[in-house]
Amino acid sequence: MPPTEVHALQRLTRQRDRFEKSIAARKNRLGATIDGYLPGLRQAFDGHWSLHARAFYRCHINPFAVIRAGEEALNAFLKAPHSRDSQVEAHQVYVACQSAVTTYALSMQSGVVDEYFFSDLQDEIARELRLMEAEEAEIEGLSKRIEELYRKLHPSNNLRSIPGVGEHTAPVFLACVGNPHRFHNQSAFANWNGVVPGARQSSGVEAKGIRMTKAGPTIMRCYLFLAGEVGRQWDPQLAHVYYRTVVYHGKNHKQAMGSRDEPFGVPCARYRA
């Protein structure tokens, strides 16, 4: 067992990761539902999940009701002191609702759809939004506690000096690695994390260069990949490694991201410092 606070950091970072995956899944479901029944509506907002968009999804998903109320009422609903383009946004939303009404008019004439259909749809979307926002609130509380533990366990904050490692990823690395001195070198760290090619032996035959062993924590490998993805876009040295691996060695994106040209022990070495 790791020390108490490191173990707590492990649990909290994993819980936050589960909440984030749940929120991403809810956004995918909601986005597919809205796009399926009201095409073009999400694109009418400046942000698909902005405060304006969420407020509209929560209580105005019926396009017939929006058209009956008129564009001025929609503009007044979306208008906020901090919003300079609410009128433009409201017009785009109104046009999207007009398009939906035109489409549904044919279905209503044939008796396939009526306005009561949107009542149940509204309830479903509002319920998903409430659950999603509850999870977002939990993540906010978790993030504060995670940051407290991270600052206490790693006051030098050297991890965040590594290109690609930021506010979110550093606590995950700290929680998974724990005491970096237990790894003697970068190879030991890579072997523990499972980001090394596996080997298969049978009699006198040995196969090398097969898929990565993936022996370590899944969350650690995931966040290493994300850190590398961000790092290669901002750090010229990492970008050169990625370019050389893709162009001169013929590797695809995922293979290049796992290249051994960039030592996996760099995070561990900086963390030790």
Domain-terminating residue out of 97, 122, 149: 149
Q: Which residues contact 158 (CB under 8 A, 6 or more apart)?
A: 270, 271, 273
Q: State the Cα–Cα distance between residues 127 and 92, nearest whole angstrom.
A: 25
162 and 127 together in one domain: no
The more confident residue out of 236 and 113 is: 236
CA angle 31, 32, 34 (to 5 degrees): 65
Neighbours of 162 (CB within 10 A): 20
Q: State the Cα–Cα distance between residues 153 and 8, nearest whole angstrom.
A: 11
Q: Which residues contact 130 (CB under 8 A, 6 or more apart)?
A: none
Domain-terminating residue out of 94, 120, 149: 149
**How is residue 202 annotated by DSSP?**
E
Q: What is the pLDDT of residues 150-199, one digit of tens each?
A: 999 999 999 999 888 999 999 999 999 988 888 888 888 888 887 776 66
Q: What is the pLDDT of residues 22-31, one digit of tens each?
A: 999 999 999 9
How many independent structural domains does the chain possess?
A: 2
Structural domain including 165 reads 156-272
pLDDT for 22? 97
- In this prediction the pTM is 0.81
Q: Is 208 helix (H, G, I), strand (E, B) or coil?
A: strand
136 and 168 together in one domain: no
